């Protein structure tokens, strides 16, 4: 039996790039009947079909990223106003009654209650990103870098940094009206943003 005879099951010698077997069609090689089909030598394996979500493939930077919806100046002002009113509701009755009855202890109690309420608000903002006023308006304070709440310590530092917002004629409190990220000076110092939740 000569190489290349009709009885030769391997057919005519083929180009090394096409592998062995029957005459090849463009694409992947075809094996003779009864022989498991395998890609010929020189043919690259078929590329895997990418699945939704790009599993196994490097994602492009920013794919699926959504710009956060920053709280506008009006929302920030309203949430601050609600919190300030709540502080007053806690303190003013004791201060008023204490002044009328000449009972300084009531004023001290009022101050202590207001400070306790302020600490509670800071802890809540650190844990959840929301004070009572922010929850009522539908805003939340988050760390810009991580998108997570600030934590109690940084929430306290942010409250202290609000002093800087008030120093230059309250310019820092007005800054969110035109800032691209709606940040006060305190937000820029602490790396925080205030977003809308509804």
- pLDDT-based confidence at residue 26 (cuts at 50, 70, 90): low
> DSSP letter at 70?
B
Averaged pLDDT, 134-158: 95
Helix (H, G, I), strand (E, B) or coil at 197: coil
The CA distances from residue 29 to 6, 37, 87, in Å, are 20, 8, 80
- pLDDT-based confidence at residue 193 (cuts at 50, 70, 90): very high
For residue 160, the model assigns a pLDDT of 93
pLDDT of 80 strictly over 60: yes
Sorted by sequence, the CB contacts under 8 Å of residue 65 that are 6+ apart come out as none
Assign 3-state DSSP to the chain and report helix, strand, coil percentages, each to 5: 45, 5, 50
User: With contact defined as beta carbons under 8 Å apart, do 134 and 141 qualify?
Assistant: yes
- pLDDT-based confidence at residue 142 (cuts at 50, 70, 90): very high
Residue ranges covered by each domain of the chain: 73-196
Cα atoms in the Cβ-side hemisphere of radius 13 Å centred on 169: 0
For the four alpha carbons of 90, 93, 99 and 103, in that order, the dihedral sign comes to negative
End-to-end CA distance of the chain: 83
Packing angle of the helix pair 104-128, 73-100 (nearest 10 deg): 160
pLDDT of 111 strictly over 80: yes
User: With contact defined as beta carbons under 8 Å apart, do 158 and 187 qualify?
Assistant: yes
Averaged pLDDT, 50-58: 42
pTM, full prediction? 0.63
For residue 98, the model assigns a pLDDT of 87
């Amino acid at each position: 039996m000569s190489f290349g005879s009709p009885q030769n099951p391997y057919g005519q010698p083929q180009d090394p790039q096409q592998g062995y077997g029957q005459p090849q069609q463009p694409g992947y090689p075809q094996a003779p009947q009864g022989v498991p089909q395998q890609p010929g030598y020189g043919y690259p394996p078929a590329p895997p079909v990418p699945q939704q979500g790009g599993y196994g493939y490097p994602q492009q930077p920013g794919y699926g990223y959504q710009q956060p919806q920053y709280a506008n100046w009006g929302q920030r002002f309203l949430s601050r106003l609600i919190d300030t009113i709540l502080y007053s509701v806690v303190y003013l009755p004791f201060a008023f009654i204490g002044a009328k009855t000449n009972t300084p202890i009531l004023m001290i109690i009022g101050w202590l209650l207001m400070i306790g309420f302020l600490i509670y608000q800071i802890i809540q903002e650190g844990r959840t990103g929301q004070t009572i006023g922010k929850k009522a308006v539908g805003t939340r304070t988050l760390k810009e870098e991580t998108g997570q709440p600030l934590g109690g310590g940084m929430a306290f530092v942010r409250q202290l940094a609000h002093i800087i917002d008030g120093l230059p004629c309250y310019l820092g409190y007005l800054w969110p009206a035109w800032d691209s990220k709606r940040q006060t000076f305190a937000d820029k110092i602490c790396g925080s943003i205030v977003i809308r939740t509804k």
